[in-house]
Chains A and B, each alone.
Chain A
Amino acid sequence: MATLTIDKVTKAFGHTTVIPELSLTIEDGEFCVLVGPSGCGKSTLLRIIAGLEPISSGRILVDGVDMSGAEPPERGVAMVFQSYALYPHMNVDRNIGFGLKIARTPLAEIAERVGRAAEKLRLGSYLKRKPRELSGGQRQRVAIGRAMTRKPKLFLLDEPLSNLDAALRVGMRVEIARLKAELASTMVYVTHDQVEAMTLADRIVVMNGGHIEQVGAPLDLYHRPANLFVAGFIGSPAMNFLKGCVDTVEGNLATVSLDLGLSLTMPVSQALRPGVEVTVGIRPEHIVLSSEGQAGAFVVQASVVELLGSDTFIHVRDGEDSLVIRDSGGRMARAGDRIAITLPPHACHLFNEAGQRISDTAPATEPA
């Protein structure tokens, strides 16, 4: 367990600045997920934390001690690599215990710790096998075991699930969640998959282009995204964005008319002028299917309908706008159907021209 402070760190490779000044504090025992699209710098940041990449400026503090130039073991770091990086010439037993052996741990203790990790990860019957004889999921558990036995202060994971097939990924996600409960380490987890981020994190750090877009608990990011990027990144399928402009402003209520043809009124936290262009966001699961006669209902035509059994996704195109509606009621629909929808204002988010969220909403209601 340790507190990790990233203090005004920048990172440049030659003339390319990959991370322009970034600061972040990860608390003791926290499970922090760095998430973002490819190339956003999350893996670089992880490697900087690990001590595998030197920083161009700034400091890295572990428990308040400046470790900016320190090697990984000095920082109390253990890491699970994306490709697992298991030593191919060593069997599982020796792979897991290798770090301990280098640290000159007594043999009896190595055996004991390896045994415990193997038991926890259900690798007991594979201890004498070599990595090439193991499946992807087994190799991944060995990689985790290797990191676990070192009882690290900082447990780092670099996209550990991305090399697994879909079914395995769900199972391993649960395993990692279980691991999180058992280990006392501070964990930093990098992924591009926002589902993993949402399910595993205590706090999520959304990164884009080397800087942090937003930091917060998963549901915070879900209900109160700070900007367009975070709003569009968190949640699957992604939030719908509709263009519009401000009609009138009365007090803290703004009325927006959408290009789609609807009008919405919602509270805002910032001063707005009429005529300004804005974006309204609403998640597919928050759009309500109603009937044509209802107040505020708007009729659209379904272009593609995806029936998943548990959910129905209705894709709508209206001129330049497109919408995805998610219905968990098992509603049957077909392409070409006319559908009536309402957009509850309390579930809508308003974003100004700069992409900042300016609507002032209480947490939205859960999807029906």
Chain B
Amino acid sequence: MTQLPGAETRPALFQCKMASIMSAEAMRAGAAVAAVKRRSASRASTLYLFALPATLLFVVFVAYPILWVAEQSLYAGKTDGGVVFAGLANYTTILSDPTFWIVVRNMALWGAITIPVQMLIGGLLAYFIERHTHALRGFFRTMFFLPVVTSVSVISLVWVQIYAPYYGIAQEYLKHIGIVMMTSPIGDPKTAIYALIVVNIWQWTGFSMLMYIAGIANLSSEVLDAARIDGARGWRLAVHVIVPMLAPATKSLLLLGVIGTLQTFPIVHLMTGGGPNRASEVFGTFIFKQSFVLGDTGTGAALSVIVLVVALALSLIQIAVLGARLSPAGREES
């Protein structure tokens, strides 16, 4: 430390100044340490602010409804309007309701048909568009995706018109292959669910196509080159190299597809209302009818819990066994 001027002549003052400077230094050093420690503590709490909004939204608008529904499922309505604790009675009621099993059948059909068909068509489209078109690639990508961005209420009304037996164009074209419709396909209990499945496939294949487009863009060109040197071309290349390498996208689509199937509601509600005679009932419409139309929140809630559990179970199985991920983007798992 440099000597202060006049230090020799005023030793006491000098010493005081030294002491105060030294203690100031010590305090600053101590303050620095204390500040560092304080900052670490407050830092931790501000960091949780990052997660707060998402958590808050979840708790209020998702967690609370789920818990409310779970609780409601244990209560049944009484004739005088109140509710009484009913344990698992709602669940047994639902499970013994034949409609429930129609729904299960419909959901299984829905999933078993839409998911693979969408993957197949979407995959084929993606393959040909990505690898065999150039100037028109953007055009084709966009056009096939348009049904995805079209509102479901619009789609429902258009397809109702298409399916109409006398003035709809479906009849026009089916005439050529000898099918005559007596009623609209959606008015016939035997064909209703299939007619709805067709609409669903029409709307959502573009999504599968886009996922596969992303997957194909992801293919390492080095691996493809190596395969070509090994002699795989065209069809063989597609089947033995490209399809297996698209596995992450396929697993993603499967996971999203299962969840989406269980979530189906607007299309069915708007086109058939679950009819005729509950032939095309799905979980969404069943819950809607029980809770809103019949006012039986107990059974509606029990159904909801069942669907939630099934969705969770199926998703967890897929994630654990297949290693499926919700989004194929991001690093590959080692």
Q: Do A and B come from one complex?
A: yes
24-59 of chain B: CB within 8 A of chain A: 29, 32-33, 36-37, 39-40
| Shortest CB distance B199–A (Å) | 43
Stretch in A20-28, A65-73, A306-314, A326-334 touching the partner: A65-73
The yes or no answer to A165 lying at the interface (CB within 8 A) is no
Interface majority SS (helix, strand, loop, mixed), chain B: helix
The yes or no answer to A353 lying at the interface (CB within 8 A) is no
By a CB distance below 8 angstroms, the chain B residues around A66 are 33
Interface majority SS (helix, strand, loop, mixed), chain A: loop
The yes or no answer to A320 lying at the interface (CB within 8 A) is no
By a CB distance below 8 angstroms, the chain A residues around B29 are 64-65
Interface string of A35-79 (1 = CB under 8 A from B): 000000000000000000000000000001111011100100000
Residue of B nearest to A68 (CB): B36
Please measure, in the bound complex, the distance between the C-alpha atom of A67 and the C-alpha atom of B29, giving whole angstroms.
10
| Shortest CB distance A61–B (Å) | 10
| A65 close to B40 (CB less than 8 A) | no
Interface size on B, residues (CB 8 A): 7
Please measure, in the bound complex, the distance between the C-alpha atom of A70 and the C-alpha atom of B31, giving whole angstroms.
12
By a CB distance below 8 angstroms, the chain B residues around A69 are 36-37, 40
Please measure, in the bound complex, the distance between the C-alpha atom of A148 and the C-alpha atom of B33, giving whole angstroms.
26
Residue of B nearest to A62 (CB): B32
By a CB distance below 8 angstroms, the chain A residues around B37 are 69
By a CB distance below 8 angstroms, the chain A residues around B33 are 65-66
| Shortest CB distance A43–B (Å) | 22
| Shortest CB distance A112–B (Å) | 29
Residue of B nearest to A70 (CB): B36
| Shortest CB distance A48–B (Å) | 15
| Shortest CB distance B41–A (Å) | 10
| Shortest CB distance A154–B (Å) | 16
By a CB distance below 8 angstroms, the chain A residues around B36 are 67, 69-71, 74
Interface string of A65-108 (1 = CB under 8 A from B): 11101110010000000000000000000000000000000000
By a CB distance below 8 angstroms, the chain B residues around A65 are 29, 32-33
Please measure, in the bound complex, the distance between the C-alpha atom of A67 and the C-alpha atom of B37, giving whole angstroms.
10
Residue of B nearest to A63 (CB): B29
Please measure, in the bound complex, the distance between the C-alpha atom of A295 and the C-alpha atom of B183, giving whole angstroms.
116
| Shortest CB distance A60–B (Å) | 11
| Shortest CB distance A130–B (Å) | 23
| Shortest CB distance B237–A (Å) | 32
| Shortest CB distance A69–B (Å) | 5
Please measure, in the bound complex, the distance between the C-alpha atom of A69 and the C-alpha atom of B32, giving whole angstroms.
11
Residue of B nearest to A74 (CB): B36
By a CB distance below 8 angstroms, the chain B residues around A74 are 32, 36
Residue of A nearest to B37 (CB): A69
Residue of A nearest to B43 (CB): A71
Please measure, in the bound complex, the distance between the C-alpha atom of A186 and the C-alpha atom of B267, giving whole angstroms.
69
Please measure, in the bound complex, the distance between the C-alpha atom of A65 and the C-alpha atom of B28, giving whole angstroms.
10
| Shortest CB distance B46–A (Å) | 13
By a CB distance below 8 angstroms, the chain A residues around B39 are 71
Please measure, in the bound complex, the distance between the C-alpha atom of A69 and the C-alpha atom of B39, giving whole angstroms.
10
Residue of A nearest to B39 (CB): A71
| Shortest CB distance B47–A (Å) | 13
Please measure, in the bound complex, the distance between the C-alpha atom of A7 and the C-alpha atom of B33, giving whole angstroms.
16
By a CB distance below 8 angstroms, the chain B residues around A64 are 29
By a CB distance below 8 angstroms, the chain B residues around A71 are 36, 39
Please measure, in the bound complex, the distance between the C-alpha atom of A74 and the C-alpha atom of B37, giving whole angstroms.
12
151-201 of chain A: CB within 8 A of chain B: none
Known: A65-B29, A69-B36, A74-B32. 5 other contacts (CB 8 A): A65-B33, A66-B33, A69-B40, A70-B36, A71-B39
7 pairs, CB–CB < 8 Å, chain A vs chain B:
A65-B33, A66-B33, A69-B40, A70-B36, A71-B36, A71-B39, A74-B36
Where the two chains meet, the residues of B that have a C-beta atom closer than 8 Å to any C-beta of A are 29, 32-33, 36-37, 39-40
Q: Which 9 A-B pairs have the closest CB atoms?
A: A70-B36, A65-B29, A69-B36, A66-B33, A69-B40, A65-B32, A69-B37, A74-B36, A67-B36
